Amino acid sequence: MDGSRVILVGVTGGIAAYKVVDVVRRLQRSGWEAHVAMTPSAAEFVTPMTFAALTRHPVLLHMFPDATRTAGDDLYPHLFPATRADAFLVCPATAGAIARLAAGMADDVVTASALALPGGCRRFFAPAMHPNMWASAAVQDNVRRLEEAGWIRIGPGQGAMACGVEGEGRMAEPEEIEAAVGTSVDLQGRRLLILSGPTREPIDAVRFISNASSGRMGRELALEASARGANVVFVTGPVAPPSLPVHPRVRIVPVTTARQMLTEAKRHVADADAVIFAAAVADVAPVRAAAGKLPKARLGRAIALAPTPDIAAELPSRPGQLRIGFALESGCARTHAAAKLRSKRFDAIVLNGPDSPGAEAAEFEFLQAGSPPAWSRWGRVSKAECARRILNHLVRRWTSLRT
């Protein structure tokens, strides 16, 4: 498969290893040249021969080659094909594998290969373990360390486990993994400005006006865009660290207020090929924030409010730049979203409802500008899938503008 993109799939010892056969098959169908490395415990669940027959490549199982492989790359299973990989996927990623990867260990061919990857290689992991293990502080700390190092997490999902319990910890389904890993680098060289998260408008030294946004939608957009080759400036209001898109091609610019978000957006908008307005900006702010903490008795009569800046309206645009907005509506939703599409000069707008902030999935509709505007009802999908569809729209628009 000369010229194909190379992916190395690291299989570790969990019952979900049987699903990786389908994952590899799907990745091959998507155009990847797939190689497989396995830990010894993974071979207790699926035989190496299965993956060898599927990929037509030897399966890496041991740190040292056997006596029949004594020349060239075969001598260095921990280096080849790892040093030539465009992507590296660990699935299932067990608690033990995640710990070893986070610690930078090289005690098996999977973890050793992870250390030999080239700088531009995209790294993914699909956790799979008992819900109690997934919820443990040690596992969550190791997951954060991987994400901070630029690894992209896929799942886990909710559902029934092999041991009979239900909960979060089930490995993502093969089609989800294919969607996350199997995307082409069709945004290579593009520059995106993404506004994300809530803003906080201070009342006094300890209180503020804000909303329930977690920043999850913006995070999924930034991770999907960077995985597809884009460089992203990510201007975000205050969110928890897990909602930050840690990736080498994502520059995170933290802000607090709407005014600060507008200022930072203006610094970067001229260089952006597209701007995505995914932030949940507070609609009003106190006219004057108290220096200290206001007494409770004074709160009701001490707060005069004024509108916050309309970032989408005030942010300049340039010819050829695409702008995608979001509208959270509850009544006359389509009417309000269509009006916002026109007034904010958006190329498209994503409509969602009040149950969306903080949720992993939501009901989405998509409205593309035109005569007349074209509605697409996406239904209830994950925010990761919503992000993928938004970026697919950008790719289609840029393709149509070239023709």
The model's pTM is: 0.65
User: For residue 46, what is the DSSP state?
Assistant: S
Strand order in the sheet with 5-11: 32-38, 5-11, 87-93, 122-127, 152-153
At 24 the pLDDT is 96
Per-residue pLDDT of 93-126, as tens digits, reads 999 999 999 999 999 999 999 999 987 688 899 9
Q: List Cβ neighbours of 238 (8 Å cut-off, separation of 6 or more).
A: 197, 198, 200, 254, 256
Residues with a catalytic annotation lie at 163
User: For residue 50, what is the DSSP state?
Assistant: H
Q: How far is CA 161 from CA 43, 94, 369, in A?
A: 20, 14, 44
At 1 the pLDDT is 39
C-alpha–C-alpha distance, residues 225 and 191, integer Å? 9
Q: pLDDT category, 2, cuts 50, 70, 90?
A: very low
CB count within 10 Å of CB 29 equals 10
Joined together, the tokens standing for residue 118 give: 């080239």
Using the predicted structure, report yes or no on whether residue 280 has a pLDDT greater than 70: yes
SS3 5: strand
Residues in the chain: 403
At 70 the pLDDT is 60
C-alpha–C-alpha distance, residues 137 and 142, integer Å? 9
Are β-strands 231-236 and 284-286 bridged in parallel, bridged antiparallel, or unpaired?
Answer: unpaired
Q: Where are the beta strands (DSSP E) in 143-190?
A: 152-153, 157-160, 166-170
- The three-point CA angle 128-134-137 to 5° equals 145
Per-residue pLDDT of 388-402, as tens digits, reads 899 999 999 998 877
Q: Which residues share a beta bridge with 280?
A: 198
Q: List Cβ neighbours of 74 (8 Å cut-off, separation of 6 or more).
A: 58, 65, 80
% of the chain surpassing 90 pLDDT:
60
